[in-house]
Amino acid sequence: MNIQFLRFFLTILLIIIATNIVCSQNLEINLCDDNGDGYSNFIIEEIENYVLQTVGAENDYFLEEVLISTSQGNIYSVNSPSNNPNSTILCQSEGGGGFTDIAIDSNQQIFLCNGDIISSLDDNCNFFSSNYSYFKSNALSFDDLDNLYIGLGTESYVLRVNISPTGIFSSEHWHEFGTGSSGGDFVLLNNKMYISWRLSRDNYRLYEVTVNDERDYISHIDLGQLPNETYGLASELGKLYGITPNKLFQIDLTNFTFTDIIQNSNPEDEWYGAAGRHEAIVFTTATYITLDDAQNNINEINGDWTNTIVGGQTIYIRIENSLTGEYDIFPLDIVITTYPNANQPINLEMCYEDTYNIFDLTQVSMQMQINGNDNLSFTYYNVDPEVNPTVNPILTQYQSTQNIETLFVSVEKNNSGCNLIYNFQVINNVRPNLLPLSDIQSPTLLESCYFDQDDIGYFNLNDIENDIIIDEGSFETSYYLSYIDAETSNNQISEIYYLQDQIQEIFIKVTDEKGCVGISNFYLKLDCFINNESLTSIVFPKFITPNNDGINDFWNIKGVSEKVKRESTITIFNRYGKLLYTFKPYSNIGWNGTYNRLQLPSSDYWFLFTTNSGIKKTGHFTLKR
């Protein structure tokens, strides 16, 4: 059996098998419910395009495909260009010349031209199996009536011819444009003809041609300039594509914008021509609420439409070959899904010293999940996916790169595409800045100490804070006898510490408002309590009676040497801690019970006695009037 006839027979068989059949397995599409009422508004045309693309992925008869011919004689197939483009080599050259263009007729027969000859391609990718033309052609395309349109390189007119198994016949001038020449193809889309027309080397225009039912030229308009070197156009399942030597792009006729679809990965093998797999076939789609309406082709719904049943319903999409009248009906289940119900994400904060942290973003997922039975998926990004839809997700174990970063999480329900975008921050908080750890050879010392009422010396460890903590702010401190205890917060000691040995190392743990921790150390020595004259005989009077009788009119220490008095300071406070008076007990007779020359009332008052060697004593006395 002739290979071409077999291919044609199989194509017709596929059509017959598909004709007038209702698919037994329903397609499904999820739509998002904005307000939770179970209804959603959508555009029927978008639904029909979705169905056409979906069934094309399973059935070659409807497969969305663009074929590309190259300068080195290869043919590439780009599957699903509008949805998920994938490029593969359909036919690979064995050293022949390049192809300037490619075209496909209604029987899915592939035709090629190389500048001199137009010929069909057999199933073994053999060119020149039967020659059809010797025109100096650079572009060719079929319409839905199987007319072949030919561009002749430098000529300003376009030929239209019919093809028979024995050759070309009925050649005619389809239209004379008067200037310029064909830059690319002549493709039919929505009953309009679109042409890539070259006016100059760097000026490729897109012409929209109005044609009649016989596809005769009526008029044309210039839509605007195409990317330079647009050598080919392809019409495929309701979309228009352009080809340059290095890329395939889609043309939005509404806004006249261009979107790159796929790049040529081999710059030496330039892309010259393009054709849609259904270039000469027109599928019409129509949507109906009932199967009977779809079968009888009545009561079509179109435009903006809202489901009529709460939560969704089944509608029926009829795809018809407008040339043969054969059709398929595809039931489509519309599922209305509400947007996910989730908590606002919290910021993640960690403390760091030398390197930025790795954050576990699954903590955000768990915190955002309100109902454990909701099937929510969480996808994370470091760029807003609504602003940049092509951005790749990041790992949930996220390595941060700066102190504060804003991340984005897409929360989707039931894999429905109904998602919401939230943002949150990952924050690296700096640990408190402390004096570095010291050693016994060069220790950080706490040099102030006190005597209790029994004249036993002790340290108030909080006195070291201003020396150890370099940062300003609010901190909590705790003290330990080992570094490991400080790390684990075990065996904390009191800030009032009675030294038992000649020397003791103390570790201070400093926690800031963010919960970040720093650890340093300092030392205590018995030397703080040792003085060349004993302080055990010091007397702090219990009262003062400032009535000018010469007895106890002033409050001052007694019972110590001049040296102690010279090297010490006394500070007087009221019971609320307000500083009232400071004096040197050696050069001052003492305090007379006044503040700013005003006599203070009878009450208890407090004192702080401090020596230059760091010894401190506190207590109180009574003022009587």
235-287 pLDDT, tens digit each: 988 889 999 999 999 999 999 999 999 999 998 999 999 999 888 777 789 99
Of the pLDDT bands very low, low, confident and very high (cuts 50, 70, 90), residue 156 is very high
Nearby residues of 573 by Cβ (< 8 Å), 6 or more positions away: 579, 580, 605, 606, 607, 608
Predicted TM-score (pTM) of this structure: 0.51
The answer for 535, left when phi > 0, alpha when psi is -120 to 50, beta otherwise, is: alpha
Using pLDDT thresholds of 50, 70 and 90, give the confidence band for residue 531. low
pLDDT score of 295 more than 80:
yes
Q: Does residue 8 register a pLDDT over 70? A: no
pLDDT score recorded for residue 294: 94
Which comes out higher in pLDDT, residue 593 or 322? 593
Do 335 and 312 form a contact (C-beta atoms < 8 A)? yes
Q: Are 396 and 381 in contact (CB under 8 A)?
A: no
Over the chain, what is the mean pLDDT?
A: 87
What average pLDDT score do residues 121-149 get? 77
Q: What is the pLDDT of residue 422?
A: 97
> Taking a C-beta distance cutoff of 8 angstroms, is the pair 110, 102 a contact?
yes
Which residues 6+ apart lie within 8 Å of 437 measured at CB? Answer: 519, 520, 521
Neighbours of 551 (CB within 10 A): 7
Bigger pLDDT: 163 or 469? 469
Residues 253 and 101: their CA atoms lie apart, in Å, by 23
Of all residues in the chain, what percent carry a pLDDT higher than 70? 91
